[in-house]
Structure 1
Amino acid sequence: MWFSKSPEDVFKEFGVNPAVGLTEAEAKQRLEKYGLNKLKGKPKKSIIALFLSQLKDMLIYVLLAATVITFVIKEYADAIIILLVIILNAVIGVVQEYKAEKAVEALQKMTTPKSVVRRNGETKEINSEEIVPGDIVILDAGRYVPADLRLFDSANLQIEESALTGESVPSSKDAGKLLTDPKTSIGDKTNMAFQSTLTTYGRGEGVVVATAMETEIGKIAKILDSDDNEMTPLQKRLEELGKTLGFLAIGICVLIFVIALIQKRDLFEMFLTAISLAVAAIPEGLAAIVAIVLALGVTRMSKINAIVKKLPAVETLGSVNIICSDKTGTLTQNKMTVVKQYTHNHLTDVPGTEEDLVATPDEVELIKSLVLCSDATYENGQGTGDPTEIALIILGDKYNLTRAALNAEHKRVGENPFDSDRKLMSTLNVEDEGYRVHTKGAIDNILKISTTALVNGQIVPLTDELKNDYLRITEEMSDSALRVLGVAFKDTDKILPPQEMEKDLTIIGLVGMIDPPRLEVKASIHEAKMAGIRPIMITGDHKNTAVAIAKELGIAESIEQSITGAEIDELSDEAFAANINNYRVFARVSPEHKVKIVRAFKAQGNIVSMTGDGVNDAPSLKFADIGVAMGITGTDVAKGASDMILTDDNFTTIVHAIEEGRNIYNNIKKSVIFLLSCNLGEVITIFLSILLNWPVPLLATQILWINLITDSLPAIALGVDPGDHDVMKQKPRNPKQSFFAHGAGVRAVIGGILIGIFTLVAFYYGLWEHGYQLGSGEISEAALAYARTMSFVVLAASQLFYSLSMRSSTKSIIKIGVFSNKFLIGAIIVGILLQLVVISIPPLAIAFGVHFLSLQDWLLVLGFALIPLIVNEIIKLFTKRLEVQ
């Protein structure tokens, strides 16, 4: 509440004389008490701790148990393969997490290294880390503010606070102002200066009221530091799936032993069988396959200018239904631009990019005065100084009235600098045989000091009618959220003192400027809305300006859909959350408000994306389901707190990223359902054979080979499927939606049953072919090995062929295109060749307990393997016909 106290009260509270400052002894004592003026970060995790944290997963626990068991039964190759899967998954997770947690480090880097202070009555420069509460800090143009200050002296002081407040225009400071409203927003605290903001104009002095973590930027660091990352929907689904499969594997083992006791089988043989079933129940490669699919998705997204820092964020994008976007620099271009100019009875739209424009004589005088009455520069696309003045220089360039040429011809000989009370700035320049005063500022003040007007090249008396014309145009521009500047001049034959410049002027006209929307954003917002995604604008700007931009972009329809930070404070958390869906624009908000908004949307069950570029966006980027930072204009803090960075700062890239995220989730779902269908087929094969008191048709090594090698290749290929082009015509996926929604579970069960049954049929046929009837006596090892080979080939080949059907739950493979996913076709060919290699090469055949098949049996097993694919395609055909009817 320092902004509500007078400078004298602040001096008294900190025990400091502003003319002398602190003594070195007092400063040293306070430094020991308050600590260094630097932001603190939470302790870093070691690489080992990060690695171990990746292993806290039910599916990983089961895989580790399987590794121990395979070592015990001396299946070392299988154990090594499982371990490699676990390590690969953990390493990918460590790399992503290590890169992600950079937000507080970036905040620390933002503090300025040197600051000017007054100590012992002397002005000196010290390290900003040594600044303490009570220090007297001196500010001038181009210098960062080292701590939070209560200003007690200011002269034309302007501070760039856009990174903290979202304001696109520097804030004018007034040290003499006393603010009494306790709910005053940061952007309106004109008697304060805040750490890590930039002084752009004028000078000032202030007393340090907060350092380090107690500053406004320090509060942001605390918010970031206290945050615990929530799991993404994909992580939650996989955790649930891992637990389910883990308990299923344990249950299967127990059930097998119960059956073994009833059937009076050999317990060691049943132990090996139980392992086979446990292995069959768990898709060992699932964690690695999902990581690989996400990593490939990240690579694809980088090609569309979206850098993903955390792999699960790719999937999260696909379920986003709220995009909370910062206005300045994200939806707008973050540069003031003159869009309208007015001289009497002549209102002109100023084109955005055109050059060599032709102006009327009155417009020439208007533009000439604006350019000469400016201190900014603009060369080679780069500007320095106040953004408003830069906009005026650019306006002159468009009409070939350049700053360099005008200043060379009309040398400045005097000035009356801008003052927040006068809201005017004047310069005195050489003109023909004399001098001319050029004045710009608030139109009301321009009209008060003008007695004449320039109308069609003639100077005429300023009548009430003329005044009303200027005020009417001003009101129209203001209603369109334009910032209005009036312009006037007067000729003189002598050099005038500053106090004599702003009297009896001739008004020329006025200009309207705005931070314009990005050209491509409107179409992107329309596309997002068509995809069931609601765009929300969150900004530190004023309500009218924000709503005007929101209307133009199609985000909001009326001002009733907007609310300010002060109005949010008047509502309870419950009331705010209940009404959150009524708003599309949130104006004049603080960082705490942004977090509150994101949380309110999330409380309604939404998946929220927050885009932004400033320090003020960092907490909400962190708390959102997915934070998206701007790569070009974004601060390091925003990039560090985000899940994704846009390298082109283009809102359109977010929409493309959401489309990619939706397709990636669908692809992961295809992979998971495919793997579960395959593993269910294995479970049915083993379990039915035990219930029927048959020999086990598959060995544990054969199942592991299929799970980790053969069916992993098509699972990865499904993960990089081209995807559905109509995915953005669908509503966002419900984050609570199961992997098995929309009939996916039924398809997995049908596929698993078909694969399991025909694997058993092949096994039975193999024994029958060698003259054995099941249950009729001892079976020779050779016959059993041959029958197992047939079931081994059918199980592998049926899974490979079935993957083709998994590409779409509704469209046939003919409609999709059999060869449209070349990776999948390649995976099927490689899988069949691998089976052929295992069976054909004697050492491998012995290791896997298989025999080479006759040509007739090869044709037979391939025929069996095609049946699950054919049946599933027929089901699709009938389902589609029923939907049409």
Structure 2
Amino acid sequence: MAQSRLTADDYAKLTVAKFYDQLQTGKTGLTSTQADQRLQQVGPNTIQQTQSRSQLKAFLKNFTSLMALLLWVSGLIAMFTGMLELGIAIWAVNLINGCFSFWQEHAAQKATDSLKAMLPTYTQVLRDGQTQQINATELVPGDVFLIQAGNSISADARIIQATSLQVDESALTGESLAVDKRAAYEKGEGRFAERNLVYAGTIAVSGTATAVAVQTGMQTEFGQIAALTQHQKTTASPLTAELNRLTRQISLIAILIGLIFFIAAIFFVHYPVAKSFIFALGMIVAFIPEGLLPTVTLSLAQGVTRMSKRHALVKELSSVETLGETTVICSDKTGTLTQNQMTINHVWLPQQIYHVSGEGYVNNGKITANDQAVALKYSPDLALLLRVAALDNDTEIKPAKSSTTKPKILGTPTEAAHLILAEKSGLDLAQLRQAYPRAQELPFDSDRKRMTTIHTQPDGSQVIYVKGALDGILTLCTSILVNGQVRSITPDDVHDIDQANQHYAAQGLRSMAIAYRNFDGQANLPTDPADCTIANTEQHLTFVGLTVMADPPRPEIYAAVEKCHRAKIRIIMVTGDSPLTAKSVATKIGITSDQARVITGDELSAMSDIDLQKAVQGEVIFARVAPEQKYRIVQANQHNGEIVASTGDGVNDAPALKQADIGIAMGVTGTDVAKDAADMILTDDNFASIVAAIEEGRTVYSNLQKFLLYILNSNVPEAIPSVLFLFSRGLIPLPLTVMQILTVDLGTDMLPALGLGAEASEPGVMDQPPRARNAHLLNKSIIWKAFGWYGLIASVVSTFAYFFVNWTNGWPQVALASHGNTYVLATTMTLAAIVFCQIAAAINCRTKFNSVFSVGLFSNHRIWWGIIFEVALLAALMYLPVLQGLFNTTAIAGRDWAFLLCLPIPLVLIEEGRKAVVRQRHR
């Protein structure tokens, strides 16, 4: 049979008889023949791979970007002009950079493989009227299968019979609280909320059930999300687009300059066409920043390394810079903003309130009375409440295996919180269970919303313990415990209890009622616990108190949120939790004010795309959202021009993670699907780590601009000598040869430039708004400083050096030397002056506005090793005979070295003065 197109809600509403008819099955399941036929029709219960990924294509893309192509051409030009070694060096840089980028990005998207791995291997089914164990891939629609606590669920299915079944649907909904399931239909709130439906990829936490598969494989909700993830196109990162734009800009500038020099060489200097062409080609190569790709790669790699130390693992290098542009963070609540650990923080008794300190599933903290005069050991009411919390409980907590892992919870987080409450009071749970053995249990179900257990007390008598939702217990209470005395409950008591519950609910907290009843011969109560039923036991209860709990915010979240506000980054909470809880948490940690609009999943479904785009522009919180809705929220923000970072941990989050400019998966609680769909993984599931990563991303972009400023400013003193040569019609011999120009670009400049790519964050980087979407790496400020400030100063100094050497050798009485020792010495000093001006520029470019002394003059060791290298290389060019002829250099005197070594000092001080003026203006 083909899989039916009925919706999940349609299946849930059908009567059992019609449901069986629809799927052509029955309570004894399918026959083996029917199952085989259906398996042939619908295919195996697996997640299909719909896209193939070419590793060769992924490898080659690193060598075909615009900048890479430009480097291939520039290397070819260098070889064409007779500089074979430099051409090979340019190509080698391109090859090394491409291989390094491929290696960094080799952790390709494997979402579908992870989805397969998450499905269980075996399932218990009824076939031919008997229970059989089959491979989960053989499950077909109409199969009747069994569910037990701890089982992963293999298909979307309807429950036919259930006993105390609770299912962890966090892989689909993102929320950690287990959901009660039963055979009767109940719509519930939000998607996946039908009480009688279970879904593939979820886990049974407790209880048992019999269910009938309705969808398998790619037709399941799990599979539909997989298909959406597979077909989601990966867009180019903003950095990739910006580098392509920058490459086009630089290419155009270089070609125009080469064309100008070609024409000028012919018409002004009257060079032959061939010689003019080679001269122009050399200028084009000189103006191409060959170190751009290596510097980008190093900057990104350094950012990746720093992020990993701050609990953020980046899968693709370009994602680092994208983080720095982020304007909106769509964040989950549970586990990201909060600790994902349900914690009881108050105990309310009729005349006493206790505060519970210590957070999380660890045995720390304690219980203290608000009134310090009331000692814990003298409060029998509290002692009873703690005993009920610990014994009326089916959950177990396995200790953590190491200091780096968390305790394992076998059961529900709510019950685990009650066990921790008992431990914090000093109770020994093992001794308590031995002293009060359980005689009978009336399991929790979603109708009653409570659980009851019957215990034998040390004196041999029986006692009934009850805990659950207040509205389901308070109406059953006929008495109340106050200061160790039991009396009849009054309307005033009920009012006080309701007021307390409403007070906590307004704060986004959950309350659970605690009650008990003694076997005291009251009417309808049997003498044998085995004869106890819900009807004859859960009545005439004595109210004890309330436990008040919440999933607490992470301690470091407050500072992280405040830093986002300073950085003009908006945070939008997107959660599957209730609107009241979502708004309470968002307001408490400072994400929004109490005036924020809360939009539920149902409201979002009714909104048009335009209405949604308007809504996300203001203070907004999304609660009870479904998977495709989170995807829509990301899209709406992107339509508004925002750079969106989105967090997620479940299967449902994969499409949104892929759609976002930067997808962020949880490393601890996240599914493999989410991790594979994301660009970045948080090893501590902490929102604060996202903010730290954004800071690193901003630093990377800033460092790229520093590199551009540094690398471009040397083009001016490289070009000015040729301009003098051209406009003097050859009367001023070339102060700098083409080989010397390329020496600066590929030799002396390279390592200091790479050092700038590894510069640490400047103070105040998170006190500025994200850069505008239409802002560019090469902006007016960089052009002005590169050409009109740094470049101009270096041009004056290097030109002065050239003429000074000629002056000391008789100029202007004699003509400027065009050959011989004087000319070689003049070009050598011009080259050396440019190199030492670049040393000053490397130091000056380390900061934009702050004094370089404020960040530590020697704090960036990479730059200083680069400076040492370029001075050593310059000395080798001057003193090694094999290089002197190739680069047209010669040895210089001691006084020349003294001039060069002192040269950077005034240049640094002049720049420090300019920055001081700028800082004063900003203040």
Among candidates 361, 366, 372, match of residue 385 of structure 2: 366
User: Given the superposition, is the C-alpha separation of residues 87 and 406 from structure 1 closer, same or farther in structure 2, using an over 3 Å criterion?
Assistant: same
1:690 paired residue number: 726
The equivalent of 1:440 in structure 2 is: 467
* Counterpart check, 1:665 vs 2:689: no
Q: Show the 5 A alignment for 1:639-788.
A: 639-694=675-730, 695-741=733-779, 743-750=781-788, 751-767=790-806, 779-780=818-819, 782-788=821-827
Q: CA deviation at 1:148?
A: 1.3
How far apart are the structure 2 equivalents of 1:530 and 1:649?
23
Q: 1:322-401 maps to which residues of 2 (within 5 A)?
A: 322-352=328-358, 353-355=364-366, 358=376, 360-380=379-399, 381-401=407-427
Alignment equivalent of 1:424, drawn from 446, 450, 466:
450
Tell me by how many angstroms 1:791 deviates.
2.2
1:457 to 478, 484, 492: 484
The answer on whether the counterparts of 1:293 and 1:720 sit within 8 Å (CA) in structure 2 is: yes
Distance in 1 (alpha carbons) for counterparts of 2:416 and 2:850: 57
Equivalenced residue count is 880
What residue number does 2:143 align with? 135
Paired amino acid for 1:403? L
Comparing 342-351 and 852-861, the one that deviates more: 852-861
Matches within 5 A, 1:502-513: 502-513=538-549
Which residue number in structure 2 is paired with residue 14 of structure 1?
Answer: 23
Amino acid at match of 1:236: A
| Structure 2 CA distance for partners of 1:458 and 1:746, relative to 1, 3 Å | same
CA distance in 1, matches of 2:216, 2:687: 36
Q: 193, 198, 207: which is aligned to 1:193? A: 198
The one-letter code sitting in structure 2 at the alignment partner of 1:529 is H
**Paired letter, 2:636:** A
Q: How does 1:402-551 map to 2 (within 5 A)?
A: 402-431=428-457, 432-492=459-519, 493-495=527-529, 496-499=531-534, 500-551=536-587
Moved more, 505-514 or 257-266: 257-266
Give the aligned partner of residue 209 of structure 2.
204
Whole-angstrom CA distance in 2 between matches of 1:433 and 1:875: 88
Alignment partner of 1:803 is 2:842: yes
Equivalent position of 1:586 in the other structure: 622
Match of 1:142, SS state, is coil
Query: In structure 2, how many angstroms separate the alpha carbons of the residues matched to 1:849 and 1:660?
Result: 43
Is the CA contact (8 Å cut-off) linking 1:801 and 1:828 kept in structure 2? no
Matched residues in 2 for 1:389 and 1:287: separation?
A: 55
Q: Among 278, 282, 296, which residue is 1:290 paired with?
A: 296
C-alpha distance in 1, partners of 2:685/2:354? 31
Structure 1's 132 and 773: CA in aligned 2 closer, same or farther, altered over 3 A? farther
Equivalent position SS for 2:833: helix
Q: Which moved more, 1:690-699 or 1:308-317?
A: 690-699
2:416 maps to amino acid: I
Per-residue CA distance 1:473-517 (angstroms, 9 max, x = gap):
222222222222222222225323224221222222222222222
Residue in 1 aligned with 2:56? 48
Could you say which residue in structure 2 is the equivalent of 1:109? 117
1:134 maps to amino acid:
G
For 2:651 and 2:393, locate their aligned partners in 1 and report how far apart those are by CA, in whole Å. Answer: 30
**In structure 1, the residue corresponding to 2:107 is in which secondary structure?**
helix
**Alpha carbons 1:187, 1:588 under 8 Å: kept:** no
The AA in structure 2 aligned to 1:269 is K
| 2:227 corresponding residue in structure 1 | 222
CA distance in 2, matches of 1:832, 1:34: 72
Out of 139, 144, 152, the residue aligned to residue 160 of structure 2 is: 152
CA contact under 8 A between 1:563 and 1:583: conserved in structure 2?
no
Question: 2:327 — aligned with what?
Answer: 321
Q: Residues 2 and 10 of structure 1 are in contact (CA less than 8 Å); yes or no, is this contact kept in structure 2? A: no
Q: 485-494 or 154-163: which moved more?
A: 485-494
CA displacement 1:575-612 (0-9 Å, x = unmatched): 11012122332100111111111222222222222223
Preserved contact between residue 339 and residue 554 of structure 2 (Cα < 8 Å): yes
1:598-637 correspondence runs (5 A): 598-637=634-673
Deviations 1:599-643 (A, max 9, x none): 222222222222232223322222222222222222222222222
Distance 1:816 1:553, change over 3 A: closer
Give 1:211 shift: 2.0
Report the alpha carbon displacement of residue 423 of structure 1 after superposing the two structures with TM: 1.8
Name the CA distance, whole Å, in 2 between partners of 1:155 and 1:530.
52
Counterpart Cα distance in 2 of 1:753 and 1:63? 27
Q: Distance in 2 between matches of 1:806 and 1:234?
A: 21
Rate the CA distance shift 1:33–1:762 in 2: closer, same or farther, 3 A.
farther
User: Which region of structure 1 is more displaced relative to structure 2, 65-74 or 664-673?
Assistant: 65-74
Partner SS, residue 342 of structure 1: strand
Per-residue deviation at 1:197? 0.6
Corresponding position: 1:233 with 2:235: no
Aligned-pair distance for 1:570? 1.3
> CA contact under 8 A between 1:608 and 1:624: conserved in structure 2?
yes
State the secondary structure of the residue aligned to 1:54.
Answer: helix
Query: Any unmatched runs of 5+ in structure 1?
Result: none
Structure 1 position 706, deviation (Å)? 1.6
| Deviations, residues 701-726 of structure 1 (Å, cap 9, x unaligned) | 32222212211111122222233222
Alignment TM-score, normalising by the size of structure 2: 0.90
Percent identity at matched positions?
Answer: 34
Q: Give the Cα separation in 2 of the matches to 1:413 and 1:880.
A: 77
State whether residues 801 and 866 of structure 1, in contact with CA within 8 Å, keep that contact through their aligned partners in structure 2: yes
Q: Aligned equivalents of 2:604 and 2:811: distance in 1? A: 80
Aligned to 2:373: none
Q: Matched residues in 2 for 1:877 and 1:464: separation?
A: 73
The residue aligned with 2:868 is 829
Task: Provide Cα deviations, 1:127-186, integer angstroms capped at 9, x if missing partner.
Answer: 11222222222211110011111223222211001221122210111321154x9xx632
Q: Which amino acid aligns with 1:166?
A: G
Q: Aligned equivalents of 1:831 and 1:389: distance in 2?
A: 67
Name the stretch that deviates more: 605-614 or 274-283.
Answer: 605-614
Which residue, out of 155, 177, 182, partners 1:174?
182
Structure 1 residue 564: Cα displacement = 0.9
Change (3 A) 1:306 1:107: same
Q: What is the DSSP-based 3-state SS (H/G/I as helix, E as strand, rest coil) of the residue aligned with 1:330? A: coil
AA aligned to 1:747 is K
Distance 2:858 2:490 in 1: 79
The alpha carbon displacement at 1:81 in A equals: 1.0
Amino acid aligned to 1:45: R
Q: Which moved more, 1:686-695 or 1:507-516?
A: 686-695
Q: Name which of structure 1's ranges 240-249 and 102-111 shifts more when overlaid on structure 2.
A: 102-111
Q: Kindly provide the amino acid, as one letter, of the partner of residue 738 in structure 1.
A: H
756-765 or 275-284, which deviates more: 756-765
Post-superposition offset of 1:757: 4.5
Which residue is equivalent to 2:252?
A: 247
C-alpha deviation, 1:871, in angstroms: 5.2
- Give yes or no for contact 2:262–2:279 (8 Å, CA) kept in 1: no
- Are residue 81 (structure 1) and residue 100 (structure 2) matched? no
- Other-structure match for 1:92: 100
Deviation of 1:664 (Å): 2.6
TM superposition shift of 1:732: 2.4
Q: Which residue of 1 aligns with 2:170?
A: 162
Q: Is the 8 A contact 1:758 1:865 kept in 2?
A: no
Structure 1 stretch displaced more, 363-372 or 856-865: 856-865
The one-character-per-residue Cα deviations of 1:666-699 (angstroms, maximum 9, x if unpaired) are 1221111111112343234334433433344333
TM-superposed CA distance for 1:764, in Å, is 4.4
Q: Which runs of 5+ in 2 are unaligned?
A: 1-6, 359-363, 369-375, 400-406, 520-526
Q: Give the TM-score taking structure 1 as reference length.
A: 0.94
Report whether the alignment pairs 1:854 with 2:865.
Answer: no
